[in-house]
Every structure is written in structure tokens, then in C-alpha cells.
């Protein structure tokens, strides 16, 4: 079952990489509407991504999905995606999968550092959003 799930995930991965690049490059009403239109499907993709990633160690993730950093970075910086707590929560889970608990080399240390930066960004976005709601 895992192989079947990850196979479908791989083709979806390419689709969402292209979609995120499109959303990232243009800040028009059209891209905002497109993001909102596709958000439920994208959140489902994030859930599937987490299910795949949690079964792998961080080295295997990078080997299998070398552009995962780009995908997560573009997701982390998209305010329309981050506007939903569910998206933030799943993104945090995905980022946690990238942390190498015992880094062996500079590449693994760099990945851990990068991952922590985005983790902090997401956490501060969540706190900022919660503060705005209180006001």
C-alpha cells in the first residue's frame, strides 16, 4: 500500500511544484483566486506528503524528493495557504520529518538549519495570526 500511495504522491508532487511556482511568481487576483480554489486539494496533498515523509528518514527524503525544500519554502511563504491553521499544522509536521536527529555532515547540518528557519517562520506566522484575531 505504501508504494502505491507514494507513486500517486510523486505525480501529485510535480503538479503542486508547478502550481506553487505559478502562485509564487505572480501576486495577482487571478493567482489568489486560483490558490483559494485549489487549497482544499493542496491541503489533502500536504496530508499525503506527511504520510509519505514520516515513513522515511531525512536522507531518504532528500534523495527521493530533491526539490522538497523548494516546495516547502514556497508553501511557507504563501499567505493564502498559511491563512489556514490546518495548512500550518501539516507544514510543521512535514518540516519535522526533515530534521536529522544525528547529522553526520555539513549538508545534514545545513538542512537542519534551513528547516529550523522555516519552522520558526511558521510558528511566528501562527502567533501573529492569533494575535490579530484577538485584536
- End-to-end Cα distance, the chain: 47
Q: Is the Cβ–Cβ distance between 35 and 27 less than 8 Å? A: no
How far is the CA of 29 from the CAs of 15, 25, 33, 61, in angstroms?
Answer: 21, 13, 6, 34
Q: How confident is the model at residue 4 (pLDDT cuts 50, 70, 90)?
A: very low
CA dihedral 115, 2, 51, 25 (to 10 degrees): 60
Ranked by mean pLDDT, the top range of 4-13, 18-27, 35-44, 115-124 is: 35-44
**Average pLDDT of the residues in 118-133:** 67
Query: What pTM value is reported for the model?
Result: 0.80
Domain boundaries, the chain: 36-134
Q: Is the Cβ–Cβ distance between 87 and 71 less than 8 Å? A: no
Is the confidence at residue 128, as pLDDT, over 90?
Answer: no
pLDDT in tens, 56-98: 988 899 889 999 989 999 998 888 888 888 899 999 999 999 9
Amino acid at each position: 500500500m505504501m508504494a502505491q500511495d507514494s507513486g500517486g504522491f510523486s505525480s501529485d508532487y510535480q503538479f503542486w511544484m508547478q502550481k506553487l511556482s505559478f502562485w509564487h511568481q505572480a501576486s495577482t487576483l487571478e493567482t489568489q483566486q486560483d490558490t483559494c480554489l485549489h487549497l482544499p486539494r493542496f491541503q489533502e496533498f500536504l496530508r499525503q506528503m506527511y504520510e509519505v515523509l514520516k515513513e522515511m528518514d531525512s536522507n531518504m527524503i532528500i534523495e527521493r524528493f530533491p526539490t522538497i525544500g523548494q516546495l516547502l519554502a514556497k508553501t511557507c511563504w504563501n499567505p493564502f495557504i498559511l491563512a489556514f491553521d490546518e495548512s500550518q499544522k501539516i507544514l510543521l509536521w512535514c518540516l519535522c520529518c526533515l530534521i536529522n536527529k544525528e547529522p553526520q555532515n555539513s549538508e545534514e547540518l545545513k538542512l537542519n538549519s534551513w528547516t529550523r528557519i522555516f519552522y520558526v517562520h511558521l510558528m511566528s506566522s501562527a502567533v501573529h495570526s492569533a494575535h490579530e484575531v484577538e485584536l
